[in-house]
Amino acid sequence: MRKTQSGLRAAMLACALSIAAFASTPAAAAPNDTDGFILSKFEGDGSLARVQKKGELVIGTSNDWPYSYLDAKTGTFKGIDADIINAAAKMLGIKKVTVQTVPFDGLVPGVLSGRFDMVGDSIHATPARSKLVAFSFPTYYYAETMVVKKGSAVAAKSLDDMKGKSVGSILGTNYTEWIQKTPGLQYKGYKDPVNLVEDVASGRVDAGLYDLPVIASIIKDHPQWPVEIVQTYQARAVKVPANYSRYIFRQQDQQLNEAFSRAIEWMQYTGQMKELLKKHGLGEEAN
């Protein structure tokens, strides 16, 4: 049975107030009540208390637009994950978020070495990664989506429904492999998703297939382009927790991970996450 909104909030409050004590030294300070969020003071491994005392959370990102990146003009931390992380940090009483950029394959080594406190980029949990690091509560779901020119009346549920059409995607992705293995499709490869959507808008390619958050952000940034997402398209990635984006922490930093996860969970229950995703052009399918 689905809980009522008030019941959900009550359950979440109880969860936040009963965060388990881990077994070690300094207690994390309970921040001020922020939009109803309360994190009780609890003993732990000291990882949250360490960050709170320093007043700074250092995150690692691969400068991954539109998820987690530094704006080239202003140097400001922006993106879907940037907004989530900044909101969670505020809830936990952490005054400053500092960003360090590294190549994607340097994210896990960077957090393990202590170069940063967490990986604040769009990453999915895998069995291999879970042997090395710990993952946060799920943030948002995304898979691939199909984009077409407005007015084209495409109602495809899968690539099989696009026979006789040209479909583009980014070189080296599994999406490219899917297109190339689907009989009757003409494949066109791209290095940049912006160029892909632009070609869809101009009619140089019938459809594009790529990550939903990226496509949604491009459409949001280029409202003059006559393109739209195919609402009937059914992504291959099933909407289950394993396919939600998360953040990475060191396995020994249980206190920091637990507190950050509770903040994310609170954002889900209160609707704050839904509004944040909406700001980036993502609808119900992402929450």
Is 167 or 37 the better-scoring residue by pLDDT? 167
Residues 11 and 118 in one domain: yes
Residues 25 and 74 in one domain: yes
Check residue 23 and give its pLDDT: 34
Q: Is residue 133 one of the residues assigned to a domain?
A: yes
Q: Is the pLDDT of residue 21 over 60?
A: no
- Lowest average pLDDT, out of 37-46, 57-66, 70-79, 131-140, goes to 37-46
- Per-residue pLDDT of 164-194, as tens digits, reads 999 999 998 889 999 999 999 999 999 999 9
Mean pLDDT of 26-53: 71
| Cβ within 8 Å of residue 23, ≥6 positions away | 43
Check residue 273 and give its pLDDT: 95
Comparing C-alpha atoms, which of 140, 147, 244 is closest to residue 190? 147
Mean pLDDT of 126-152: 93
CATH code for the domain in which residue 165 is found: 3.40.190.10
Residues 175 and 84 in one domain: no
Say how far apart CA 130 and CA 118 lie, in whole Å.
14
Q: Is residue 93 one of the residues assigned to a domain?
A: yes
Residues 50 and 184 in one domain: no
| Average pLDDT over the chain, rounded to an integer | 87
Check residue 40 and give its pLDDT: 63
Check residue 268 and give its pLDDT: 92
- Per-residue pLDDT of 235-260, as tens digits, reads 988 888 888 999 999 999 999 999 99
Q: Is residue 179 one of the residues assigned to a domain?
A: yes
Q: Is the pLDDT of residue 24 over 70?
A: no
Q: Is the separation of the CB atoms in 66 and 279 below 8 Å?
A: no
Mean pLDDT of 155-168: 97
Mean pLDDT of 116-135: 93
> Token pair of 283, please?
């609808």
Q: Is residue 58 one of the residues assigned to a domain?
A: yes
Check residue 12 and give its pLDDT: 46
Residue 141, strand partner residues? 244
Is 168 or 72 the better-scoring residue by pLDDT? 168
Model confidence at 287, pLDDT cuts 50, 70, 90, reads: confident
Residues 183 and 265 in one domain: no
- Per-residue pLDDT of 196-241, as tens digits, reads 999 999 999 999 999 999 999 999 999 999 999 999 999 988 888 8
Mean pLDDT of 82-99: 96
Q: Is residue 40 one of the residues assigned to a domain?
A: yes
Residues 53 and 111 in one domain: yes
Alpha-helix residue ranges (DSSP H) falling in the chain: 5-17, 47-54, 80-91, 107-113, 127-130, 174-181, 193-202, 212-221, 254-270, 272-279
- Interior angle at CA 277, CA 70 and CA 268, nearest 5: 115
Residues 18 and 132 in one domain: yes
Residues 25 and 75 in one domain: yes
Answer with the one of 180, 197, 229 that is the final residue of a domain.
229
Model confidence at 282, pLDDT cuts 50, 70, 90, reads: confident
Check residue 7 and give its pLDDT: 46
Q: Is residue 236 one of the residues assigned to a domain?
A: no
Check residue 11 and give its pLDDT: 44
In terms of residue numbers, what domain contains 215? 144-229
Residues 109 and 209 in one domain: no
Say how far apart CA 255 and CA 252 lie, in whole Å.
8
Residues 107 and 177 in one domain: no
Residues 152 and 262 in one domain: no
Model confidence at 2, pLDDT cuts 50, 70, 90, reads: very low
Answer with the one of 204, 229, 254 that is the final residue of a domain.
229
Q: Is residue 150 one of the residues assigned to a domain?
A: yes
Q: How many domains does the chain have?
A: 2
Handedness of CA 226, 231, 233, 238 (dihedral sign): positive
| Cβ within 8 Å of residue 12, ≥6 positions away | 265, 266, 269, 270
Handedness of CA 270, 248, 122, 69 (dihedral sign): positive
Residues 21 and 60 in one domain: yes
Is 287 or 178 the better-scoring residue by pLDDT? 178
The DSSP call for residue 159 is G
Q: Is the pLDDT of residue 34 over 80?
A: no
Answer with the one of 207, 229, 251 that is the final residue of a domain.
229
Which amino acid appears at position 170 of this protein?
Answer: I
Q: Is residue 234 one of the residues assigned to a domain?
A: no
